[in-house]
Each structure stands twice: as C-alpha cells, then as structure tokens.
A and B are shown apart, each in its own frame.
Chain A
Amino acid sequence: MEPDLTVQLGPLRLTNPVMPASGTFGFGLEYASLVDLRQLGALVVKSVTLHPTRGNPPPRLCETPAGILNAIGLMNPGVEVFIRDKMPLLEPLGVPIIVNIAGRAQAEYAELAARLDGVPGVSALEVNISCPNVKEGGMAFGADPQTAALVTRSVRQATRLPIIVKLSPNVTDISVIARAVEAEGADALSLINTLTGLVIDVEKRRPVLGNTTGGLAGPAIRPVAVHLVWRVARAVRLPIIGMGGITSASDALQFILAGASAVAVGTQNFVQPKAMLEVLEGIKEYMIRHGVARVQDIVGQLQV
C-alpha cells in the first residue's frame, strides 16, 4: 500500500511533508530545469520585503566546517515585483506557494500580509522574525516574546491566509517565544533560522563577510535544530516545520520524530538540487520498512 504522506499544517493541507527552506531555493524557478517542482509538498520562496532590497555588501558567503555562513541581507525585488513577475509563473505549478515575508517594522509585516492576501496561488505566509543579517527588524522581532507576539497579531489581523511564524535559535528560551506566537493566532511554526556566527581572516585581521557576522546553516547546525524542534514541540500544540542541516531522509526523520509535521531542506539544495526528492523517496521507503501507514503517525514519536 502507498504510504500516506499528507500533512496538515493548521488549515493548510500538503500532499507531502517536504519543501525548501526560504532563501535556499530562490523563487523555485531558478531550479525548474533541475528539479520537478510539482513533486514538492510546498514551495517556500525567498523572503520578500515591502520595497526592493539591495542586500549586504559582498562577500556574502563562506564555507565553514560542514556548513556555510551567509549574510545575504534579504536581497529581493520587493513584493510588487514578486506578485507581478513571479506569481504568474508559480501559480500554474499547482503546488502550495508559501511566501516568506520580512519587515523592518511591525507595520510593514501587516502591510505585506494584507497585500498578499487574495493573490492567486499564495497558500500561506511564513513570517520571518528571525533573519540575523539585517540591521532593522529581522531577528530583533524574534528575540523578544512581546515583539514576536505583536508582529504575529498584526499579521493575523491583516490576512486570512494561514500564518507560519519562523523562529530564531538565537534566543535564551525558544519555547517562550513559541508560546507567545501561538497565543496570537499563528497556525504553525517553522524552525530553525540560522545561528549567528563570525569567521575571521587572520592574515587580514578582518571578518570574511562584508556584513561582519552571518548566519550559520548546513549539517553543522542539525543537532541544535533537532533539539530545538523537540523542545518547541513539547511547549506548543502548533504543527512545526523542522529545518537545519537536512541532507537525507534519515536527517529529515530525526526532525519528524522530534515533533516536526513537515521538513524543509536548505543548504543541501545548493549541493544537490535533487535532495528534496531524495528525502521524500527515503521517507516513503522508511515508512514501508517500518509498517507506518501515515507519516503523521510518527510525528513526535521519539522515545526517551
């Protein structure tokens, strides 16, 4: 029997639990010749902002042990261009499109949410309150429970779309933030965004990245991410999209067992564009091998 891979993220139903992590798969279209986009559970696009955003000075990337440090700075063409140029190409794919939004102020999140409400093809919003690479907004909203709650509330009031709030690991207690966001009507949570890091060129005595600091992603952060998903899953009732260093089905299954209903592949897309499809196949194979009928049955089934 074909395993049942469907996932329910609040009001949002996905045919399978695998999607890209925002910012690691562009608008999806860049990868159209390498990956069959229609097979994804959802397509999460790069953060969009109210106005076009130029991003940080280069260098924006460097490789670290089993990871990468990045400071892109939310470079994107702005929500109007996104709606005009990208959505008409994304909508016909028939895959749920999750638009990641980032604001510099609380009001911008609300404005973005209102603007995207009703745009054909947009299935949900992912609210990025956790970008470590911008001076205004970003992680500042995700580091404090009150501000996280306020942003969630204003987005909730501005749209009928399902809202997924993306959490930062750069906080003292992530479950406090998760509960604050849950109380304001978020439909789901996604975690983790990148961990703030610094790499130094010792010859030049300067930071390698143009932005000085960046966000660490990739296999290096996976155990941290699995742990945080496990903690948050026990603190809230909301469904979770787990991410951080997923390269294979067995990595993804760690997140699912820790309590994630769905998973997102990030850095590995750069390495192996077919990674998401391999993760999906591997989850199916695991389910058959372990006699699991529905993927939802193993969510949070970690035995301790």
Chain B
Amino acid sequence: MQQHIGRVVVNSEIAPGYSLVTVHLPVVAAAARPGQFVHVKAGGGYYPLLRRPISIHRVDREQGLVYLLVEVRGPGTSWLAFQGGGTPLDIIGPLGTGFPRPSTERAVMVGGGVGMAPLVFLAEEMVHYGIEVDFLLGARSELQLLQREFLTGIGAAVQVATDDGSCGHHGRVTDLLPPMLAKGKEVTVYACGPRPMLKTVAELAAGVGVPCWLSLEEFMACGVGACRGCVTATRGNDEQVTYKDVCTDGPVFAAGEVVFFNGA
C-alpha cells in the first residue's frame, strides 16, 4: 500500500448515474488483487473531507490502468464522476484483503447495483484460470444493468434481475441463486451489494453448505486499520461477537463469519 497520484485517462457515463473512471496507476494495476479497493481524495477542500473507498473494478496491467466504477450518491462520488481526462487523483492503495481463489471449478457471483464492480475483476481472473463463472446481475431497472455485455464478452454466463421487471427476472437477484446451488456441481459463491442482499446470499449458501465470500461496505476514515471506525460484527468459532475492520480484515469476509442484524 502506497500513496499515488494517478491521472484520469477517460471518464465515461456508462449508465445514468454511473461513471467508469479510467486512471493511469501502474503500481496499483500491477499489485492489485480482486476484491481490493483504493481510497480516493475527492477534490482538494473540506467538502467532502474524508477519502472515499472505491473498489478496483478492473485493471489493465499492460497499460498500467485501473478502472473504477462509480455510482453517484453524494459529494464525493459526484466529484469523481465528473473529472475529465488529465485530472490528477490522490489515491492510497491497493487496500484490503481480496477474494480468495475458489477450490471449486465453478464460481457464482451475485452483484447488486454498483456492488457488481469488484466482482468483474474477480470474474476476469476466474475465467483466466479456467473456472466457469455464473454472474447474477441485479439492478433497479434495465438502464442500470452494469457491464452486461462486457461480462458476456469475457465468457461469463450472465443472468439478470431487475426490481421493475424491465429486463430479465422481475424481482430480486437472489431469486436466481437457488438453482445455481442445486446443480449438483461444487461451487463457490461471491457476493457484493446491499446488506439485505448479502444476508440472503449468506443464508442460501449456508443452507446447502457451499463456501461463500461477501464483500462488505462501511463508512471509512483511514482505510488502513488505524481508526477502528469501519468495523463490522463478526462471530468466530467460539460464538463470541467481535468487531473486525472492514478496511484491513476485509472488505471480503467468509459469509459464515458475518453477523447480520434485523436491518441486515
């Protein structure tokens, strides 16, 4: 982990409210593992004040590029989404522990909204290692389905669910998961998205006893394990609840370890 200045190469709106930011960042591109993130300073002033954590969506090691897929939510993400080519970005990374490699020959990915971002890097790597990838992609509506053609292009079997039924399954993306788990073959499940979605994925995977990894989100200040501000409740073998840092112990956790509450 180091601090870098990377220049935006291009920035394009790939769906309404979603920008794909390409950054020239050779050191990060070379070192990054799927599931890791970068901590970005948006703008130079006090608003927003803190850095913003953004997943590494993809890398191009040959050209030294890092791709960030950003959903506009507030001041930090909207600043990022509107920086044109040439803008220097102040970035710390790569941070966090990534997704572990599967020991199975098939991997199922469940991506809800912008949560699909880190799973694309993972899917590319899995395909590269000859692992079959099913990618379950969820969004509010067809317009917000992210990187669908790209995923199909790399050879992932993509299935789609939308909240409004405008494309694919009308309903939750997790509705698509049970058949994937019933196929008899051994699989590993990877998921990233809203917490209620992750809770459902964790329960479905636990129900059939398949390994499952979740990438979590929390507010972050330091991003490097110093402030203890980004914790999530986990439960170890001794059933004791302990708080772990999402930034350094995660963002990827074994699903069985994560403690979900009513509000997920």
Contacts and interface: CB of A to CB of B under 8 A. Distances in A.
Interface of A: 23-27, 30-31, 33-34, 46, 54-55, 57-63, 65-68, 70, 72, 75, 218-219, 267, 269-274
Nearest to B46: A66
A69 B235 CA distance: 27
Contacts of A72: 227-229
A219 B227 contact: no
Given A34-B2, A54-B243, A61-B219, A24 B48 contact: no
A67 B243 contact: no
A59 B246 CA distance: 12
From B41, B47, B221, B243, name the one whose CB has the most chain A CB atoms within 10 angstroms: B221
A55 B1 CA distance: 26
Given A33-B2, A219-B49, 10 more contacts: A30-B226, A34-B1, A34-B2, A55-B243, A58-B232, A59-B218, A68-B50, A218-B46, A271-B41, A271-B50
B224 interface: yes
Given A55-B243, A271-B41, A273-B92, A218 B231 contact: no
A68 B224 contact: no
Given A26-B225, A30-B224, A270 B231 contact: no
Contact of A75 (B2, B92, B221, B243): B243
Minimum-distance CB pairs A-B, first 3: A26-B226, A61-B229, A66-B46
B222 interface: yes
B137 to A, nearest CB: 27
Contacts of A57: 233
Contact of A62 (B219, B228, B243): B219
A219 B46 CA distance: 8
A209 to B, nearest CB: 10
A271 B1 CA distance: 15
Given A55-B228, A57-B233, A30 B243 contact: no
Contacts of A61: 219-221, 227, 229-230
Contact of B227 (A24, A33, A59, A62): A24
A271 B51 contact: yes
Nearest to B219: A61
Determine the main DSSP class of A at the interface with B.
loop
Interface string B1-34: 1110000000000000000000000000000000
Nearest to B52: A63
Contacts, number: 96
A67 B47 CA distance: 9
A31 B226 contact: yes
Contacts of B49: 63, 66-68, 218-219, 267, 271
A204 to B, nearest CB: 9
A8 B32 CA distance: 45
From B49, B220, B223, name the one whose CB has the most chain A CB atoms within 10 angstroms: B49
B103 interface: no
A270 B2 contact: no
Contacts of B223: 270
B104 interface: no
A275 to B, nearest CB: 12
Contact of B231 (A24, A55, A62, A267): A55
B242 interface: yes
A25 B218 contact: no
From B1, B50, B220, B230, name the one whose CB has the most chain A CB atoms within 10 angstroms: B50
Contacts of A274: 3
A31 B229 contact: no
Contact of B218 (A23, A58, A70): A58
A23 B228 CA distance: 9
Interface string B237-251: 000001100000000
A34 B93 CA distance: 10
